[in-house]
Amino acid sequence: MAESFAFAIADGVLGKLGSALIQGVGLAWGVQTELEELRDTLSTIHALLLDAEEKQATNRQINDWLGKLKLVLYDAEDVLDEFDYEALQQQVVASGSITKRQACSAKQTGDDPLLCSFFRCYRRDHDKENIVGLLKQSSDTENVSIIPIVGIGGLGKTTLAKLVYNDERVAGHFPIKMWVCVSDEFDIENLVKKILKEMKGDEKYSDFSMEQLQSRLRNALDGEKFLLVLDDVWNTDREKWLKLKDLLMDGANGSKILVTTRKKSVASIMGTFPMQELKDLSHEDCLSLFVKCAFKDGEDNQYPNLLKIGDQIVEKCARVPLAVRSLGRILYLKRDEHDWVSIRDSEIWKLEQGENGIMAALRLSYYDLPHHLKQCFALCSIFPKDFKFSNKFFIPFWMAQGLIQLSGQNARMEDIGERYINELLSRSFFQDVEQLVPGVLYVFKMHDLVHDLAMFVAQPEYFTLSFHNKDIPKRIQHVAFSDTDWPKEEYEALRFLEKLNNVRTLYFQMKNATPRSKSFVSVAS
């Protein structure tokens, strides 16, 4: 989504061009006229970008032009950063000190309660009771049984599993409970480490061999009745599953593994109980959820025309709660009929979409974001699925990228960053908030479909690479490295990084290796 970033970059460059610091350096260097001409040009481009947003989704020429424009804007931003740096150096020389605010302005270095409540009130109550009953059953054939929950993305598999997992009857039945998100990569060694961490807390297993991990897991489960949730499983390799299953079979009779997956083929190779297929909700139930998201209590009766349009929007959401909730929340407090019609009649619905229209709904939610939040959201794409963000990590990360926009003389960037997170939470881009230190430190996640959206809108600027990649996108700006093995010779890695001429962020998310030299700089550790 090139235009979103181009608009935000142009906005930032224009702001810098108008600053007293830049004007002072421009005058000292004799380039004030050139700076004024650049400002006039950018003002014109800035106005044109406002009209480009949805057009680029269906027009490749516009998309390509915006991509090229962004490279120019990044160059302009880099030049102005040099001006900022020079101005601050002069201030340091003059005063002998520099304030934190000046340094930042130079280069700014739980479950969803509504959805859970809805699930308790509508159709999922039956699904929940059925699964709780299965969990309490014993087996005559093997100690550990597997129950798969199957359904398309956004239907509420994970939410249902959490309701079951947290049910008092389930907690009282299983002395040991573990929750592990699997996602795309079914790496047995990594999964064993996650399971052990769930059981043992903060014990470190990074230096353990696979044999040691197997022994530790078997001993921990031996004779214990446990419930293990494997959330978001994609693996269709039966051999991999059998290897992991073998390590889990020492539990006491009645132990259960609850699996959530989008794919019936996964359920067929894993399950011992018949798959529990999650059906879509009725149109009436989806409309009820939409009304809860889009209106205050009882307010929908005052807007019969909006309710009629909302009914038509819900019809396009293919009865998927995540899509319904996302669009309901962007229309919350919007009472102009034009806003509702623009969602209903958007061209985005006509584009080819997977997951029965879910991605169309999520893209519409993305388009409704302010431009600076689009950049903040896209930056999430370089982190892996199921990554636990914390406010104390993520806000400085945004600040380092220059994405926090100061709104007043006394505004603190940290406070503005908190508002950004709250805005993204309210629009369902983040979820599963967990308060670690109430009011101070909390963590949150992204739904895997929302992460897919972040990856889609961020390309080709945000990219996950390995050290074996031969083709590197020319426009790449932010890079995550996912290799499990660091190159044998560090100079090989350095030689690879020399190809990344325009990169602004390097994030190493490798499990078994990290850079060993000070030559490597990572924005996040």
List pLDDT tens digits, range 432-468.
898 898 888 999 999 989 999 998 888 777 777 777 7
Query: Taking residues 325-347, what's their average pLDDT?
Result: 93
**Domain shared by 255 and 342, yes or no:** no
**Domain shared by 137 and 240, yes or no:** yes
> For residue 361, which of 391, 389, 321 has the smallest C-alpha distance?
321
**Domain shared by 264 and 304, yes or no:** no
Query: Taking residues 202-229, what's their average pLDDT?
Result: 88
**Domain shared by 140 and 245, yes or no:** yes
Q: Confirm if 234 and 263 have CB atoms less than 8 A apart.
A: yes
pLDDT computed for residue 73 by the predictor: 66
In a domain, 244, yes or no: yes
- Left if phi > 0, otherwise alpha if psi is -120 to 50, otherwise beta: which for 428? left
pLDDT computed for residue 491 by the predictor: 67
For residue 385, give the CATH number of its domain: 1.10.10
> For residue 216, which of 239, 247, 241, 246 has the smallest C-alpha distance?
247
**Domain shared by 64 and 171, yes or no:** no
pTM of the predicted model, to two decimals?
Answer: 0.72
pLDDT computed for residue 91 by the predictor: 56
In a domain, 497, yes or no: no
From 85, 106, 127, give the residue that closes a domain.
106
Q: Which residues contact 342 (CB under 8 A, 6 or more apart)?
A: none
In a domain, 340, yes or no: yes
Q: Is 355 exposed, middle or buried (0-12, 13-18, 19+ CB in 10 A)?
A: buried
Percent of the chain with pLDDT over 90: 36
From 88, 106, 124, give the residue that closes a domain.
106
pLDDT computed for residue 40 by the predictor: 67
**Domain shared by 339 and 260, yes or no:** no
Other C-beta atoms closer than 10 Å to the C-beta of 135 total 22
| Containing structural domain, residue 250 | 113-277
Mean pLDDT, the chain, rounded, equals 79
**Domain shared by 289 and 170, yes or no:** no
**Domain shared by 168 and 99, yes or no:** no
493 token code pair: 């890695």
Residue 524 banded pLDDT, cuts 50, 70, 90: very low
Residue 243 banded pLDDT, cuts 50, 70, 90: very high
In a domain, 508, yes or no: no
pLDDT computed for residue 142 by the predictor: 82
**Domain shared by 208 and 237, yes or no:** yes
CA of 109: how far to CAs of 105, 155, 210, 404, 481, in Å?
9, 39, 40, 10, 21
From 452, 486, 506, give the residue that closes a domain.
452
pLDDT tens for 124-157 read 788 899 999 999 887 777 889 999 999 988 888 9
pLDDT computed for residue 134 by the predictor: 93
Q: H or E segment at 177?
A: strand 176-183
- C-alpha span between 444 and 393 (Å, rounded): 11
> For residue 224, which of 178, 165, 162 has the smallest C-alpha distance?
178
In a domain, 310, yes or no: yes
- C-alpha span between 46 and 11 (Å, rounded): 7
In a domain, 479, yes or no: no
Number of domain units in the chain: 4
Chain Cα centroid distance, residue 346: 24
